[in-house]
Structure 1
Amino acid sequence: MDDSDTSAILAEDLESSDSRRVCCCFKVPESRRPPPCSCPFSVTVEPVMFLSMFSIVLQWPLSTQYLWDRISEDVGYNGTKGGGGCNASTVDDPLQKEVETLTAQWNLYINMGGFLVGLIMVTLLGSWSDRAGRRLVLIIPSLGLAVQASVYLIVMYLKLPVFWFLIGRIFSGLSGDFNAILAGCFAYVADTSGRGSRTFRVAILEACLGVAGIFASVIGGHWRRAQGYINPFWLVLATNLAAALYAYLFVPETVTPDPEARFLSTRHHRAIFHLYSSDAPQGRRAKLWLYTICFFLVVFVHFGCSDLFVLYELSAPLCWGPELIGYGSAAKNLAYLTSLMGLRAMQCCMKDSWVALVGLTSNIVGLIAISFANSTALMFTGYGLSFLFMASTPVLRSKLSKLVDPLEQGALFASVACVEGLCSLLSSVVFNSLYPATLYFMKGFPFIFGAIILLISAVIIGGLGCQEEREGGENREGSVIS
């Protein structure tokens, strides 16, 4: 898609937004200060999303590998000395299984600590942005992620116990973590997009996640092999600081900041409660809950499986080294781009609900292939079959956004971010506990478990899609009769 197409989409968004949105978002009052600089390109929050995701994907596999190496050193396991994840001939090595178990457990503790704190903070930050402005919800979490990277660097320099990784994760959670950035970015897109193009605009934003993931995955593996862990984490720190600086300098505000807006207020939680308890217009509440449940199930599987991919690849029988782990992560993140292109193509001939079902089918088939992967070729085949796995989440975000009033977008995406935080916590608990528990009878069982959960979500989306088709047909019929 070239620059002219992007400009046309943005122009369509401005024209198609309803009068209330135009009034509250695009008519800039005198009290709203423009950013210090203007961006020369037709982008707004996309660079913030790109930089933040780049730092997350760069540090995620590296921190798992660092935990693996530190724990291996502590227990006396030397299976990584040859440069790979393990020695393929030691499939039943008890020390390897101990390292796998301890690494999975520490991943669980670190994620649980961060997400428990972040779950509370992201709810406050997201709803607070309706009154205080969107830019703050982009800047604060970016600085928190920078603090986390700083703590990780100190741990590596001083070889402190891995317990300090948990402390760094909690600092990030106190700022809202990456979920707060997601909430701010998607609320911003909802502020500046029309109903007709919202799904594709959300998909573009999610494609930024994939592009950042591809670059970070390829760079991370080679860099770690050449220079170890410390230098890549300096880049993680720099990208988070750059994201905060960009949001401050270039992102225009879409909300008129209220100087009396209080951060610590029950108002934010009441707004979310009203959102999910009100049934006006009639039938909205049931759809809002069902689509939220579907979103929860899909993201639950995405987070849970992502937690295990690196660990699955490090151990026998795959025994991947840093380069292959980087290529595998890049292949998985390439699906963000292929999903964007597939979504755009499928929207020409089918409704959004059926696009989501195609994406879920791709994800299910890919996970089943990965669960039986005993070779590098089969593992990459699983990644290839999942080439549309990200087509479902933009549809779900867009459908949720269209169900609420334009002035409720902040509260909605605060709740969606809260759901994502809950997904991250529960998926980390479930999948990191399930993996060591099933190592002895089927190593890939967690991926089969994820495919079953996605099937439940597909049934719900299919049912809602059929209901919307019937409602649309009845409305058209009523219009013709009248």
Structure 2
Amino acid sequence: MNDSDTSAILPEEFAPSVRDETPDADASSLDADMPSGSPVRCGRPPFPCPLPVSVEPVLFLCMFSLALQMPLYTQYLWDRISEDLGYNGTKAGGCQNSSGQPDPLEKEVATQTARWSLYISLAGFGVGLVVVTLLGSWSDRVGRRRLLVVPSLGLALQAGVYLAVMYLRLGVAWLLLGRLLSGLSGDFNAVLAGCFAHAGDTSARRSRTFRVAVLEATLGLAGMLASVVGGNWRRAQGYINPFWLALACNLAAALYAWLFVRDTVTPDPGARLLSGEHHRAVLRLFGPRGKGGRGPLLWLYTLCFFLVVLVHSGSRELYVLFELSPPLCWGPQMVGYGSAALHLAYLSSLLGLRVLQLGLDDSWVALLGLASNCAALLVISNAATTALMFTGYGLNFLSMASTPVLRSKLSKLVESSQQGALFASVACVESLCSLVASGVFMSLYPATLHVFKGFPFLFGALILLIPASIIGAIRCREMRGAHDGTS
């Protein structure tokens, strides 16, 4: 099947990604909706994929691998440190009332597990922060395919190191090596940057928000599947086999990216990876001299994205603790149902966004998504029964519609030659959100537990009023400017 045949069967959102390098009348009409300065489409993969997908399989496989590993390596840390310290007890559930004194050895195990988890997270974040901005800007000159292959192989190395630690019974400090290797390749943030930059390259402006939402729904679907598979598999067969699957997923993602993902940038033979120009390109992007005076808008939308993802990450970490403790006292099965209901918001938000776009501007869709998130957090903060908790999850059905809108608005503010640098920066912001959310919400929960258990969720709802106000103000200003221009 040739490219022209492929284009005929693809939906409009994906059509630009499979255009022939020789422009024709149809391609020119599509280019009218692309940002100015769009790079020449090139880089035919060895085996062009005839299906209406491009980078979705890469994102799915890497996200599935990551979501599968994260809870398992934390549990492995707990078990290994318990074994090293000679602790044979089990972690008490939140609904078990015991009048005895807490075991000091269990406290030491919990402390060391938390400490090593922090070390591993900070190692990956610190190294990845520098590397992902380097790789993102580099991909603007050499193509997106390499930006997808390199971090996928790095994530495979990380899984390989974890397996070596388990097989050889090495100290937990060796887990740090795997995280550093992944960080040196850009980590999962580089995969995010490559996938969203590819979407920015290949989608028309009018369909970009939905194209980005498809990628975010892919993240949710992979996370939901991994959360269901990981815990049950670990109980049945231990840690090693799930990590073999994680390794295979990352290798498959790298192979798929190299063989099937079409490059969207004309490679520059003189582009060097180790160059300070890549980081300077990121600084120029957000500098005061941004093209057309768009620097302030970039900062405002980035702030909105930071606050929204901060609440998403912080509340997600607390849901399980909230469900395990009184008065809900959920067991593992109910926690799994709750996790599945939470991840379903990705799919329902995708459907809701598609329907709402038929009659509303993207900004109003984002505001409705924030309203959905606020309503869900308010209900969950007061949830004392299972029915009320799932009511909160139901109200969350449109909560993930705001982030694709914000990503799309950021993408439309920059040139096509800056998409890699932009989404590398956005990925770093997203990673920073996870660290800040852990510090803020995990500190707030025990501090307010005996006053108002659901206060962190109420706090999250209040934070969301800030991006809602900014988005609403920018949209009202745009409408006023359009009215003045036509009057």
User: For 1:4 and 1:86, how far apart are their aligned partners in 2?
Assistant: 57
Aligned to 1:428: 438
Question: Which segment drifts farther, 221-230 or 231-240?
Answer: 221-230
User: For 2:81 and 2:89, how far apart are their aligned partners in 1?
Assistant: 11
Change (3 A) 1:178 1:64: same
Q: CA RMSD in A?
A: 3.1
Does the alignment pair 1:275 with 2:279? Answer: no
Deviation at 1:451, TM superposition (A): 2.4
Letter in 1 for 2:15: A
* Residues 394-409 of structure 1: pairs in structure 2 closer than 5 A: 394-409=404-419
Change (3 A) 1:163 1:143: same
Normalised TM-score (structure 2): 0.86
2:186 pairs with 138, 153, 176, which one? 176
Aligned to 2:11: 7
1:88 pairs with 93, 96, 101, which one? 96
* Residues 409-448 of structure 1: pairs in structure 2 closer than 5 A: 409-439=419-449, 441-448=451-458
SS of residue in 1 equivalent to 2:360:
coil
User: For 2:476 and 2:16, how far apart are their aligned partners in 1?
Assistant: 29
Alpha-carbon contact 1:17-1:195 (below 8 Å) kept:
no
Alpha-carbon contact 2:37-2:415 (below 8 Å) kept:
no
Aligned to 2:352: 342
Deviation at 1:248, TM superposition (A): 0.8
Write out per-residue CA displacement over residues 156-205 of structure 1, whole angstroms, 9 at most, x where no aligned residue. 34454444433322222111111111111111011111111111111111
2:67 pairs with 57, 77, 83, which one? 57
Does the alignment pair 1:306 with 2:316? Answer: yes
How many residues matched?
Answer: 468
User: For 2:281 and 2:108, how far apart are their aligned partners in 1?
Assistant: 47
2:480 pairs with 470, 477, 481, which one? 470
Aligned to 1:194: 204
Does the alignment pair 1:326 with 2:336? Answer: yes
Change (3 A) 1:164 1:379: farther
Alpha-carbon contact 2:37-2:417 (below 8 Å) kept:
no
Alpha-carbon contact 2:137-2:418 (below 8 Å) kept:
no
Deviation at 1:310, TM superposition (A): 4.3
Deviation at 1:151, TM superposition (A): 2.5
Write out per-residue CA displacement over residues 97-133 of structure 1, whole angstroms, 9 at most, x where no aligned residue. 8776665554433322211111111110100101121
Normalised TM-score (structure 1): 0.87
Change (3 A) 1:405 1:20: same
Write out per-residue CA displacement over residues 362-381 of structure 1, whole angstroms, 9 at most, x where no aligned residue. 22232333344455544433
Write out per-residue CA displacement over residues 388-420 of structure 1, whole angstroms, 9 at most, x where no aligned residue. 111001100111111122222222222222222
SS of residue in 2 equivalent to 1:291:
helix
Alpha-carbon contact 2:59-2:219 (below 8 Å) kept:
yes
Does the alignment pair 1:78 with 2:95? Answer: no
Deviation at 1:222, TM superposition (A): 2.2
Aligned to 1:353: 363
User: For 2:458 and 2:183, how far apart are their aligned partners in 1?
Assistant: 30
* Residues 11-410 of structure 1: pairs in structure 2 closer than 5 A: 11=15, 15-18=29-32, 25=39, 27-28=41-42, 32=43, 34-70=44-80, 74=85, 76=87, 78-80=89-91, 85=93, 88-90=96-98, 94-95=102-103, 104-279=114-289, 282-313=292-323, 320=330, 322-373=332-383, 376-410=386-420
Identity in percent: 62
Letter in 2 for 1:289: W
Change (3 A) 1:72 1:283: same
SS of residue in 2 equivalent to 1:300:
helix
Change (3 A) 1:155 1:432: farther
Structure 1 unmatched runs, 5+: 478-482
Deviation at 1:7, TM superposition (A): 1.8
Deviation at 1:245, TM superposition (A): 0.8
SS of residue in 1 equivalent to 2:398:
coil
Deviation at 1:36, TM superposition (A): 1.8
User: For 1:309 and 1:92, how far apart are their aligned partners in 2?
Assistant: 27
Write out per-residue CA displacement over residues 316-361 of structure 1, whole angstroms, 9 at most, x where no aligned residue. 6655555444333222211110000011111122211111111112
Alpha-carbon contact 2:305-2:406 (below 8 Å) kept:
yes
Question: Which segment drifts farther, 296-305 or 96-105?
Answer: 96-105
Deviation at 1:448, TM superposition (A): 3.1
SS of residue in 1 equivalent to 2:206:
coil
Structure 2 unmatched runs, 5+: 1-6, 18-26
Alpha-carbon contact 1:370-1:378 (below 8 Å) kept:
yes
User: For 1:473 and 1:410, how far apart are their aligned partners in 2?
Assistant: 34
Alpha-carbon contact 1:276-1:285 (below 8 Å) kept:
yes
Letter in 1 for 2:89: N
Aligned to 1:480: none
Change (3 A) 1:240 1:281: closer
Write out per-residue CA displacement over residues 248-296 of structure 1, whole angstroms, 9 at most, x where no aligned residue. 1111111122222111111112212222224455442221110111111
SS of residue in 1 equivalent to 2:264:
coil
User: For 1:104 and 1:290, how far apart are their aligned partners in 2?
Assistant: 34
User: For 2:152 and 2:386, how far apart are their aligned partners in 1?
Assistant: 36
Question: Which segment drifts farther, 63-72 or 132-141?
Answer: 63-72
Alpha-carbon contact 2:36-2:415 (below 8 Å) kept:
no
Deviation at 1:421, TM superposition (A): 2.7
Letter in 2 for 1:174: L
User: For 1:187 and 1:430, how far apart are their aligned partners in 2?
Assistant: 30
Change (3 A) 1:252 1:58: same
Deviation at 1:149, TM superposition (A): 1.6
Change (3 A) 1:91 1:192: farther
